[in-house]
Structure 1
Amino acid sequence: MYQGNNPTALQSQRWIAESLIALMQEKPYSQITIQNICKRADLSRQTFYNTFSSREEVLRFCLREQYMQQFQRFDTKPMISLRETVEAFTSVLDGNRVLLQSMLDNHLESIITDEIAKCVSLFANRFVSHRDDSLPYSEALLSGALAHLLLCWFQQPQPISIQALTELLSAFLSGQLYIFEPDQDDPVPPGSSPQR
């Protein structure tokens, strides 16, 4: 995938991405060829291969562009809140409903899951203050949860609003969604006193 700053190449990437998204509204992804994309974008195959290596890479570009915009928005901040992070994620979902639905309709969940994992890793590398051997597990847990949340949201006949989704995700990540009462037989955590 082209990652330079040549304005012509960047514009070509956007045209190719827009063409693929438009074509996915008309026919199944499996029936879309590079030639179809190039014709729709009014670009040559050579231009396509100068900027992307495959159709899948175009889809990854579409998703990555959105979360990179969110990341750049936070880049000047030394810290970001949980709420800001959740709003960034749900904003990407809301802004890409057509693309995400088309990808799900074409059974391309693995691309979405991979890109969510990359996004979580990017945010963790920039904003997580405590790094240890458990960080990859935390990233895996969070990216898996976010991917399945997205799938669940799109599969509902009447999904909750983006605002309600933001609230739900914020409550879950802050530990306020589920409240567990300790059993009498549970061991007392070190450093705490037993409840009476």
Structure 2
Amino acid sequence: MYTGSNPSALRSQRLIADALISLLEEGRPFVEISATELCRRAGVSRQTFYKMFGTLENVVRYVMRTRCEWFEALVMKRAQFTYEELVEAAILFFDSQRSLAEALVSNNLQALVQEQMQLSLDVMLLHYRCEAPLVMDDLNRSFLAGGLCSMLLTRMRDGDELSVKDRARRFSDLVTISSFACIA
């Protein structure tokens, strides 16, 4: 995937990404979208597509990554936040991207959505020092980010009777659980 700064190349990336989003939101199944169709819609050559992305999946990664970078910038303006506030911000961000997320999930691309959202949360958690240093090792950071991503996807798929604030509070309370007792 292209990562340079050439304005023409960056414009081509955006055109290709916008074309894919349009096709998906129009209801075109991802598996039926060809590079040729995408390039025609974007007004770029196939050579440009392969140079910029290589695969259609990489276009999805790019789309999610750029959306998540916006979310990261928004959250990282804050000097500090609670885990509950991070969860609430993630829910609100995910809700703002609902049509795209639904289009991707309905095309069995939830793994790419989760991959990029988890990467984004991991980036944010690396940017801050946690009160408890042992909590933020790589594995625990991955656990927190992965659990939050799974909750967001499940919430989108199944709905949620709780308000955003109540869901954020309930989810963040999970990290305070100290033991489990058998209910049998």
TM-score tier after normalising by the smaller chain length: 0.7 to 0.9
Q: Identify unmatched segments of 5+ residues in structure 2.
A: none
Counterpart of 2:55? 54
Counterpart of 1:27? 28
Stretch of structure 1 that moved more, 71-80 or 141-150 = 71-80
Counterpart of 2:157? 155
Q: Identify unmatched segments of 5+ residues in structure 1.
A: 184-196
RMSD of aligned alpha carbons = 3.0
Tell me by how many angstroms 1:88 deviates: 3.3
Contact 1:117 1:144 in 2 (8 A): yes
* Greater gyration radius: 1
Contact 1:117 1:139 in 2 (8 A): no
Q: Identity percentage over the alignment?
A: 26
What SS does the corresponding residue of 1:107 show, helix, strand or coil?
A: coil
What SS does the corresponding residue of 2:163 show, helix, strand or coil?
A: helix
Stretch of structure 1 that moved more, 126-135 or 86-95 = 126-135
Contact 1:172 1:178 in 2 (8 A): no
Higher relative contact order (CA 8 A, sep 6+): 2
Q: 1:5 to 1:75 in 2, by over 3 A?
A: farther
Moved over 6 A (4+): 176-183
Which string of whole-angstrom CA distances, capped at 9 and with x for unpartnered residues, describes residues 27-85 of structure 1?
A: 21111111111000111112212321211111111111112112223445443443542
Amino acid paired to 1:171: R
Tell me by how many angstroms 1:181 deviates: 9.6
Q: 2:170 matched to 1:168?
A: no
TM-score normalised according to structure 1 size = 0.76
What SS does the corresponding residue of 1:2 show, helix, strand or coil?
A: coil
Counterpart of 2:146? 144
Q: 1:170 to 1:7 in 2, by over 3 A?
A: farther
Q: Which has the higher helix share?
A: 2
Q: Report how many residues are paired.
A: 180
